[in-house]
Every structure is written in structure tokens, then in C-alpha cells.
Structure 1
Amino acid sequence: MTPHTELDLRHYGHTDTAAIRELLLDVHDEVYQGSDDPLAGRDAFAKFVDHWSANKAFACVIGYDREQPVGYAYGAPLSPATTWWAKVAPPLPDAFTAETGHRTFALSELMVRSAWRGTGASRRIHDALVASRSEERVTLLVHKEHGKVRALYEGWGYRTVGEAVPFDGAPELCAMVSDLR
């Protein structure tokens, strides 16, 4: 299919999870096909989808090109009990890491199918998701070795605030933040 320049950007929330879960997993499977990353398998990724979508404030934008799913972005606000910042090094000041449940939106996933890469689809999906947010800032984690991806996010206004291995088996990641307001 030849990518179309217009995207239909559809917003979903926690109550839509049952309707979009398989689509999220199917797009993920296509994007990560052939990956040797142990966290890239469908079952491992499904746990992340289920974790994030269980949050009542879960938000997702899926981009469609003539009814074909192009990609998506999703996440949720960090709660006051979050451990998101706990393993970031160097340690960040308490004033930076204090969460209220309304301060920081965590962008957990952003992925685009290969036919639509380089078309601006990822930026449009990202922007549609964060534009709908009322939080002060957005944060994400990106693989430290993916310099091109980090540079892309920097071009979108993100800055690296530290590095982390958030859980056993995770790669070394860069914690990035962008102000929304």
C-alpha cells in the first residue's frame, strides 16, 4: 500500500481497551518482527499494554490511512506513587520527581509501521496525543543506543534528564522530558 499523506487520528481511553488491544499487539508484532529483544515478544509486550491501559487515565491515539492502522502512541499520567524516576541516574531533585497524578504524562509507546516511516506519521500521532493532555510535561524512555530516535525526540523539544534501567531485563534507557505548557 502506498502511504497517503492524510491521517485519521482517533483518540481512545481506558474504556476502549478491549476494542483496541489486539490491534495494538498486531502493530507491535509487525514493527518488532525479527527482533532479538527479549521484551519484544507478543506476550511480554501484552503485559505492558495491560499495565498501561488499566490506568483510568490511559490515553491512546491510533493513526489510520484509509482505514489501515499506521501506528499509535499511548501512555498515562504518573501517579504520586510512581517509581518512574527512582532509577534515573544521576538522581534528580525531589522537586523535579514529585508527582501529583496531574503533573507528568508518561508516553509509554510510540510506533509506526514501516510503510509509513519517514512520512511524518509518528510526529502527527505524537502531537495529537500530547496536544490533548493537561499535564505540565511529558516524559518518555528511549533506548540509549538508538541515537537517531533520541535525536528525533530532541528535535521535537525533548531533553535527556538522565539514564535508567527501570527493571530487570530492560536495556539502558535515556529518560527524556518535554514541557507541554
Structure 2
Amino acid sequence: MTTPTRLDLRRYEHADAREIRELLLDIHDEVYEGSDDPLAPREVFAGFVDGWSSREGFACVVAYDEDQPVGYAYGAPLSPVTTWWAKVTPTLPEDFTAETGARTFALSELMVRVPWRRTGASRRIHDALLDGRPEERVTLLVHKEHGKVRALYEGWGYQTIGECVPFDGAPELCAMVLGQGQQ
């Protein structure tokens, strides 16, 4: 597929979560089809969609090429009681991990369907999600073994600040940060 000449980038919030839930799950299922990733099964991923979309600050951008969904990105601000940084090694300084509910936006998911990969769609979705965000920085977790994905984020300005296994059953992930407050 060639670079889409125009993507329709649609924004959604916490109040829209029920409306887009099945679409998010369907795209996820297509992107992760045949994957042995422990977080890939629909019922597992549905828990993440439900958890993130239930947050008051949830934000999502879904891209369309005409009537075809291309992909999406979503996340939410980290709350003052977040455990996001707790298992990152090396241990990060307290002034780095202190959250206010408005300091850091956590980009939880960014995925693009195969026909639109390498077209710039992922960057456009990413940028649309973050456009106008009030937080001073963005964080995300990426599979340690996915070097190409990490390199993509590094090309966008993210820096790896450590590694973690945030919960039982999760793969080893790299914690990355973009914006003020990078180490």
C-alpha cells in the first residue's frame, strides 16, 4: 500500500469507550494473529482496553483510510498513586517517578494494520493522540526483543530509561520517555 493521502483521525475519550471497544479489540486481534505473545489473546487484551478506557483521562485516536480502520493509539495520564515506575530497573530517582496526575501521559497502545505499515500512519496517529496534551512528558513500554519498534520510537525522540516486567506473565519491556523529565 502506498502512503495514504489522507487519514481521517478521529478522537475519542473515556465517555466513548463502549462505542469503540470492539473495534479496538478487532484491530488488535488482526495485528496479533498467530502471535505467541502472552498478552495477545483477545480476553487478556480486553482487560487492558477496559482498564485504560475506564480512566477519566483516557484518550484514543483511531485512523481511517476512507471507510477502513487503519490503526489506533490510546493512553491516559499517570495518577499520583501509579505503580508504572515501581519495577523499572535501574531504580529511578524519586523526583523522576513522582506523578501528579498531570505530569506524564502513558501511551499504552499504538498499532497499525499490516496494509498501512511503513506509510507513516503510525507517526500520524501517535502525533494526533499527543497533539495538545497538557502533560510535560510521555512514557511507554515496548517489548525488549522488538528492536525495530524501539528504534522507531527512538527516531521520534523517545529515550530508554530502564527495563521492567510490570506484572506476572508480562514479557521483559523497555520503559521509554519522550519530553521534559527525560533522564
If the length of structure 2 is used for normalisation, what is the TM-score? 0.96
Q: Partner of 1:168 in structure 2?
A: 168
State the secondary structure of the residue aligned to 1:47: helix
State the one-letter code of the partner of 2:139.
T
Shift of 1:39: 1.2
Query: 1:95 is paired with a residue of what secondary structure?
Result: helix
Structure 2 unaligned runs (5+)?
Answer: none
Distance in 2 between residues matched to 1:132 and 1:110, nearest whole Å: 18
**Where do 5+ consecutive residues of structure 1 fail to align?**
none
1:20: which partner in 2?
Answer: 20
| Corresponding residue of 1:140 | 140
2:6 aligns to what?
6
- Separation in 2, partners of 1:91, 1:19: 39
RMSD: 1.3
Q: Distance in 1 between matches of 2:157 and 2:144?
A: 17
* Structure 1 partner of 2:41: 41
**What is the total number of aligned residue pairs between the two structures?**
181
State, as a whole percentage, how many aligned pairs show the same letter: 76
TM-superposed CA distance for 1:149, in Å, is 0.4
In structure 2, the residue matched to 1:32 is: 32
- 2:80 matches 1:80: yes
- Residues 62, 73 of structure 1: 8 Å contact kept: yes
**Alpha-carbon distance in structure 1 between the residues aligned to 2:152 and 2:2:** 24
The whole-number CA distance in structure 2 between the counterparts of 1:78 and 1:70 is 27
Shift of 1:3: 6.2
String of CA shifts for 1:66-92, please: whole Å, max 9, x gaps: 021100000000000000000000000
Q: Does the C-alpha gap of structure 1 residues 37 and 114 become closer, same or farther in structure 2, counting only changes over 3 Å?
A: same
> Kindly tell me: are residues 109 and 32 of structure 1, through their superposed partners in 2, closer, same or farther at Cα, counting changes over 3 Å?
same
Moved over 2 A (4+): 1-5
How big is the shift at 1:180? 6.4
Deviation (angstroms), 1:37: 1.4
C-alpha contact 1:5 1:119 (8 A) present in aligned 2: no
1:140–1:177 contact (8 Å) kept in structure 2 = yes
Matches within 5 A, 1:28-107: 28-107=28-107
Match of 1:179 in 2: 179
Query: Alpha-carbon deviation of 1:131?
Result: 1.2
- Is the Cα contact below 8 Å between 2:111 and 2:122 reproduced in 1? yes
TM (norm. structure 1) is 0.97
